[in-house]
Structure 1
Amino acid sequence: MTEPALPPRRWPLVPTLLVALAVLIMVALGVWQLQRKGEKEALIALYERNRAMSATVAYPALAPVPDAMLFRKSSVTCLEPVRWLPRSGAAREGGSGIRMIADCRTGAEGPGALVDMGIADDFAPPAWKGGTVQGTIVPGPEQPSLIERLTGRAVPARPMLVADTPAPGLRASAVPSGADVPNNHLAYAVQWFLFAGIAVVIYILALRRRLQR
C-alpha cells in the first residue's frame, strides 16, 4: 500500500512580507540618519564660521533664532532682571558651578531677553540690577523635549546671550561652540542597519527550521 504524498511545503507569504517591510523601514531610517549626519555637519561648520565673525548683529527678539545668528556677537539692554533661572554650567576658565541666567525686561512689552551673567558657587541671585550686556547669542536653556517635538507641540527655544563680562561676584560662563552640538547620527544609522541585518538573519534561520520540519 503506497503512502499518501506529503503536501508541498508552502512559503510563508504574509510573514515574509511583514519582515521585508520592517527591514525596508529600518534601512530607510538608517539612510535618513546618514542624511541628517551631513546636514548636522554643515550646521556645525556654519556655527564655527559665525563664532569667527567679529561684527555684531541685533539681538533676536523672537524665537526661533535663525541659524545664521547663533554664536554671533550681539548686545542687549536689560532694564531689570524679572527673575533668575539658575542652571548648572561651566566657567570659562575652568571649573563648574551655577549659571545665573537673568530673564530680563527690555521694554514695556515684549518677550524680554535671557542673559547668562556668569557662574556662581550657590543659588543666591547676584546683586546685578541690569544694564547693557555684550556677549554671544546661543540657544536658550528651555529646549523642547523629544515627546513635544514628535507630537508637534514643541515651542521654539528663546535665544540667550552669554555675557562677555560677568556680573560682579560671578565668574564668566563658558561660551558654547558648534562642536558642542551633538552629532550622533552615524551611530544611529549603524544601529538601524544592524537591526535590519539581525532581523534578516533571524528570519532566515526561522524559515529554514520551518521548512525542514
Structure 2
Amino acid sequence: MTEVADTRPRWPLVPTLLVLAAVAIMIALGVWQLQRKSEKEALIALYARNMAMPSPVAYPKLPPVPNAMLYRKSSVVCLEVVRWDPRGGSDRRGRTGIRMIADCRTGAEGPGVLIDVGTADDFKTPEWKGGVVAGTIVPGPEQPTLIQRLAGKAVAARAMLVADAPVAGLRPSAVPSAADTPNNHLAYAGQWFLFAVAALAIYILAVRRRLRP
C-alpha cells in the first residue's frame, strides 16, 4: 500500500521570520520614541527654568550651545554685520513680518553670532552697523536634520540672540518660548506600534487565505 504525499500548503517559514523581524524593529522604534519623549520633557523643563532665571550669562563663543544656556539672558558686541538673513516671523504682538537676522563678527576668529535685531514690514535691511545688544539666547534658525545627524554629517548648530530692544525702525521680534519646543514622540511611538500591529495582522490574514484548502 503506497503512502499518499501530504500536498497541503504549509506555513511559510522564511517570509514569517522576515515579517517578525520587521515587526520587532517597529516595536523597538516605538519604545525608542517613548524614551525620547521622556528626554524631551526633561529638556523642556530645563528650558522653562532657564527662562525664569533673570541673571545674564556670557554668550557662548563657539557652537554647540549647551542646553543650560538656551533661553537665558545675555549680551554680545557686534563689531560688524557680515551679512543679513531676513526670515519670516512675527513681533511680540503677534503681527507677522520679516525678522532681520544679522550675522555679526565679534572678533578676529570664530563663526560670529546671529542676532535678531527686530521685525520689519518688508525685506529692506536696516541701516545698522553693530553695537552692544542685550537679549535672549534661543536656538538658531538652521538646525541639523535627523538624517544629517544619523549620517554623521551634522554640523554644530549656532544659537541666536533675540534683541530685547529692536534697532531703529523695527518692531521687537517675538522671543521663542520653551513651550514652542516640539515633542511629538508619543505620536511617533503610537504610529510605530500601529504599523507593527497592522503588518502582523495583514500578514496573518494573507497566509491564512493561502492555506485554505
Hey, what's the Cα distance between the residues in 2 that align with 1:144 and 1:138?
15
CA distance in 1 between counterparts of 2:12 and 2:171 reads 68
Name the counterpart of 1:125.
125
- For 1:38-187, what aligned pairs fall within 5 Å after superposition? 38-187=38-187
RMSD: 1.6
Q: How far off is 1:108 after superposition?
A: 2.5
| Structure 1 unmatched runs, 5+ | none
Report SS of the residue matched to 1:68.
helix
| Residue 111 (structure 1) shift | 1.9
Corresponding letter in the other structure for 1:194: L
* Amino acid corresponding to residue 74 of structure 1 in structure 2: S
Q: Does 1:192 align with 2:192?
A: yes
Structure 1 residues 5 and 159 mapped into 2: Cα distance closer, same or farther (>3 Å)?
closer
- Return 5+ residue gaps in structure 2 as ranges: none
Residues 140-190 of structure 1, C-alpha deviations (whole Å, 9 max, x = no match): 112223332231101111111000000000000100011111111111101
Code of the aligned partner of 1:104: C
Distance 1:104 1:5 in 2: 82
DSSP-derived class of the 1:20 partner? helix
What is the deviation of 1:106? 1.1
- What amino acid sits opposite 2:69 in the alignment? M
Q: Tell me the CA shift for residue 4 of structure 1.
A: 3.7
- Distance in structure 2 (CA, Å) of the matches to 1:111 and 1:59: 13
1:35-71 Cα deviation digits (max 9, x unpaired): 1011001101100110010010000011100000000
* TM-score, structure 1 as length reference: 0.95
The DSSP-based 3-state class of the residue aligned with 1:92 is: coil
| TM-aligned CA deviation for residue 199 of structure 1 | 0.8
- The aligned counterpart of 2:204 is 204
* C-alpha distance in structure 1 between counterparts of 2:42 and 2:130, whole Å: 37
What is the CA-CA distance between 1:9 and the residue it aligns to?
Answer: 4.1
**Cα drift, residue 112 of structure 1:** 1.4
Q: Write out per-residue CA displacement over residues 60-112 of structure 1, whole angstroms, 9 at most, x where no aligned residue.
A: 01110000000000000111211111111110122111100111111223221
Farther off after superposition, 41-50 or 136-145: 136-145
How much does 1:5 deviate? 4.8
Q: 1:8: Cα distance to partner?
A: 4.9
**Deviation, structure 1 residue 212:** 1.1
Residues 4-19 of structure 1 mapped to structure 2, 5 A cutoff: 4-19=4-19
